[in-house]
Amino acid sequence: MGYTLDFCWTWGTYIQNNITEVMLPLGIAEHIDISFLFDHNLAIWNAAIITALLFLGLFRLWRPAYGVAIVLFHLQYVARNCLGEISHGSNLVGMGILLLGLAHLFFTGASERRRFLMGSLYFFIGLGYTSAAVCKLVGTGIYWPDGHHLIMWITERRVDVISKFGAFQPNGLQNLVLGDYRWGTLILMFGLLAEASSFLMWFRKLRYVIVMLVFSMHIGIVVSMNIFFEASTYFLLLLGLPWHDLLNFGRDKLLGFPKREVSETAPPLMG
């Protein structure tokens, strides 16, 4: 929810101040003219409506709230990215809002909604990352993990960093890769295997390990190429640790709260 608010308000301000025409129609913009959002502060008003809908959904005041919010969020997304630049992480955030909307429309019990939401998130995230690994191999072949590719990407990224900050100082890992391409091969191989195995998060026993592997891959991207996919990384961190167990431990052991009795017939969080 936090990233949805951040995206829709940041995009709204950018749309209002910088965009006057559609260069690359995406999604629904291929079927309708979304240029009406460029004038009269409509993108700002759209962000305000999305904000209100999210709070209506959060406090269970209107069941279709998340469903309407994802439609308006998509409008904001295609308007912001109509110049050709596609943002990372917003697709994952949008998927979360969409699944929240479906959960509240089709399930009445909190347990059923939670199981549907979390199970669907693991399914689509695992499918997405595994598909990314397959696409890399289809596009480049088995030589994608060649360390020379990482050297090339670090060099290209150096230009971006210099243009933005005026200087580029390689870190220790980047120096290792630039000095010996085999380090780059190891790093890329780890990333490819982490992505390819992402579908294993569908299975309960492997879930946290696989999600944290993909999270580690994103940390490797930050360190090796200075590229931070912020929303995706934090999203994986939220999914990758058993936060409910940690919170229960803190409540029962550290704060001394009495342990709650759990019904033996209560359904698990996810199947």
Per-domain residue ranges for the chain? 1-106, 141-256
pTM for the full predicted model: 0.86
pLDDT class of 258 with cuts at 50, 70, 90: low
DSSP string, 34-61: -GGGGSTTHHHHHHHHHHHHHHHHHTTS
Give how far Cα 57 sits from Cα of 44, 45, 61, 73, Å. Answer: 20, 18, 6, 14
Tell me the average pLDDT across 107-113. 92
Classify each residue of 113-129 as buried b or exposed e, where b means 16 or more C-beta atoms within 10 Å of its C-beta: bebbbbebbbebbbebb
pLDDT given at position 271:
46
pLDDT given at position 138:
96
Q: How many CB atoms within 10 Å of residue 11?
A: 23
Q: How many residues appear in the chain?
A: 271
Q: Which amino acid is at 251?
A: R
Question: Mean pLDDT, the chain, as a whole number?
Answer: 91
Angle, CA 22 vertex, CA 21 and CA 24 arms, to 5°? 150
